[in-house]
């Protein structure tokens, strides 16, 4: 999955957290690099900061949604601005989920899992990890 974040401490936090949950995070620090990276490796999820240099996270979300190959990739926005209307703006731009900073580790991880499950990316993994279930 692709992490777009310009703060080194947050990059480390998000990447460590995701790796601990069995994911393979790739981080970029700039929205301009994010589009290139997303086209190159087709992430199963994009996690983006909103306050970014050059191109804001909101604009990145709009650009991803306008891209024929990337318009269906789930997007989770993470932002320090928890002001009124922020979540609406983020969702209006096309993100599926919104997590405010400082993050709750549990909420961050749960939101990632929910988005992967909704998109179907997590379904295979869940089935493999649950060999005991037999639907009758």
30 in contact with Mn ion (CB under 5 A): no
How many whole angstroms separate alpha carbon 122 and alpha carbon 136? 23
Residue 44 touching Mn ion (CB under 5 A): no
Q: Assign 3-state DSSP to the chain and report helix, strand, coil percentages, each to 5.
A: 45, 15, 40
Residues 108-127 that bind Mn ion (CB under 5 A): none
Nearer to Mn ion, 6 or 114 (CB): 6
- Binding part of the chain for Mn ion, among 2-10, 19-27, 33-41, 116-124 by CB under 5 A, reads 2-10
Q: Which of residues 47-66 bind Mn ion (CB under 5 A)?
A: 49, 51
| Phi, psi of 26, deg, nearest 5 | -125, 125
Query: How many CB atoms are closer than 10 A to CB 109?
Result: 16
Beta carbon of residue 43, minimum distance to Mn ion (angstroms, whole number): 19
Please, are residues 6 and 34 in contact by the beta-carbon 8 Å criterion?
A: no
Smallest gap from Cβ 54 to Mn ion, in A, equals 11
Stretch that binds Mn ion, among 1-9, 29-37, 61-69, 99-107 (CB under 5 A): 1-9
Q: Which two tokens stand for residue 135?
A: 């639907």
Token pair 């869940």 is found at 126
Tell whether residue 29 is a contact of Mn ion (CB under 5 A). Answer: no
Binding site for Mn ion (CB under 5 A): 6, 49, 51
């Amino acid at each position: 999955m692709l992490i777009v974040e310009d703060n080194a401490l947050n990059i480390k936090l998000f990447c460590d957290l995701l790796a601990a949950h069995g994911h393979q995070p790739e981080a970029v620090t700039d929205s301009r690099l994010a589009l290139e990276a997303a086209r190159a490796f087709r992430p199963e999820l994009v996690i983006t900061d909103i306050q970014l240099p050059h191109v804001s996270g909101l604009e990145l979300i709009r650009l991803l949604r306008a891209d024929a190959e990337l318009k269906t990739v789930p997007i989770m926005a993470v932002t320090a601005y928890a002001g009124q209307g922020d979540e609406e703006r983020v969702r209006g731009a096309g993100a599926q989920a919104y997590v405010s900073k400082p993050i709750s580790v549990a909420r961050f991880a749960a939101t990632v899992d929910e988005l992967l499950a909704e998109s179907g990316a997590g379904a295979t993994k869940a089935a493999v990890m649950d060999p005991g279930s037999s639907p009758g």
